Amino acid sequence: MVVLGVTGGIAVYKACDLARELMRRGCRVKVVMTAAAQRFVTPLTFRTLTGEPVGVSLWDDPASRVHHISLADEADVLAIAPCTANVIVKLAQGRADDLLTTTALATEARLVIAPAMNTHMWRKDAVAGAVATLRGCGARFVEPATGELACGDVGEGRLAEVGVIADAVMAEVTCSRSLAGVRVLVTAGPTREPIDAVRFIGNRSSGRQGYAVADEAARRGADVTLVSGPTALPDPFGVRVVRVETASEMHGAVEAAYSDCDLVVMAAAVADMRPAAPASGKLKKDAAPETLQLERTEDILAALGRRKGTRVLVGFAAETEHVLEHAREKLTAKNLDLVVANDVSAPGAGFDGPTNVVVFVTPEGEESLPLMGKEAVARALLDRLDPMVKGRESC
């Protein structure tokens, strides 16, 4: 189901055609209108076109389920067309002061935005920054067209053609179901290897990238298990989460889930070494050893690769030098289908940040991605993995 958000602007009349076009393509469409949109087209128009009630206020029918939550839960895609500068900026800031923005904040659905505004507004830094923020969170923008605007100016800012917007929405509808029936295992976060009862060896991984992958897979309809090391992140919506501390615990949890999986994405930063003989209590400063005897932890990814079968298996390579060389070595040595490689010393690509800069390394070659939010990286990764999974299923 598509929730079509309509904001105030002269291009509102095109939203009527968009609603009908989406219905012709097999979608059920529910419309949410801002107060400004209602100054151009009445809710009755959309109710007549779609055969569905039209949402106009947070205070709609108090006898029914909370409207913004029901719309948020029903939607496969939330499309906003036309979308004004005001609403773009509010969405980027997380503001929710009407039914449309509240629904947008509450939904787990995919977001498609088709802007329409004056050229000078579109070019303003505040709008460009908001667009970048939303793109980084995975929103898909249908770029405005260039031409004569209602105000008489000529330039970019016209609402894109209805067919172009409908194509973008339908691509997201398809994507929202692309992993239905697929069982996905994701690992995320660091591990903590105890030195004593209070100290441990760990790393700086926040788990954000792995959590973003698990969240994106669930949005696409997959049955997702996330094995997570210690993080401060909330459980992704609709994802089964198994929390562990050590590499050994992660190994056991992964092994328990592996046999039932079709796709495995090993994004966790698992410790390579652990203290060989951790103390059962707290070591006092004056009694603590000056050196630690270390031993290797289990190589979870290598063990999975040895019995991969028809699964699609993905590893991560967080490096500080010779990044692609090490990623290619890991791809071959551990029998992987794809390695996500990044230089964690590069600006914007290190641990515990909202962005990443990665390269997808496969047996066929490399694909470099620009700096982007980790949600957008997750989306790009699953776009790449989707046909791999379908190819294995058809074998």
Catalytic residues: 151
Q: Which two tokens stand for residue 319?
A: 């490096």
191 backbone dihedrals φ, ψ, rounded to 5°: -115, 160
User: What is the distance between the alpha carbons of residues 162 and 291, in angstroms, rounded to a whole number?
Assistant: 68
341 and 358 Cβ atoms separated by less than 8 Å: yes
Q: Residues 6 or more apart from 322 whose CB is under 8 A from it?
A: none
User: What is the distance between the alpha carbons of residues 337 and 275, in angstroms, rounded to a whole number?
Assistant: 32
* Ramachandran area for residue 248 (φ above 0: left; ψ -120 to 50: alpha; else beta): alpha
User: How many residues are listed for the chain in this entry?
Assistant: 395
Q: Is 96 helix (H, G, I), strand (E, B) or coil?
A: coil
User: What is the distance between the alpha carbons of residues 341 and 324, in angstroms, rounded to a whole number?
Assistant: 7
How wide is the angle at C-alpha 292 spanned by C-alphas 291 and 297, nearest 5°? Answer: 155
User: What is the distance between the alpha carbons of residues 302 and 221, in angstroms, rounded to a whole number?
Assistant: 28
Provide the pairing of β-strand 355-356 with 145-148.
unpaired
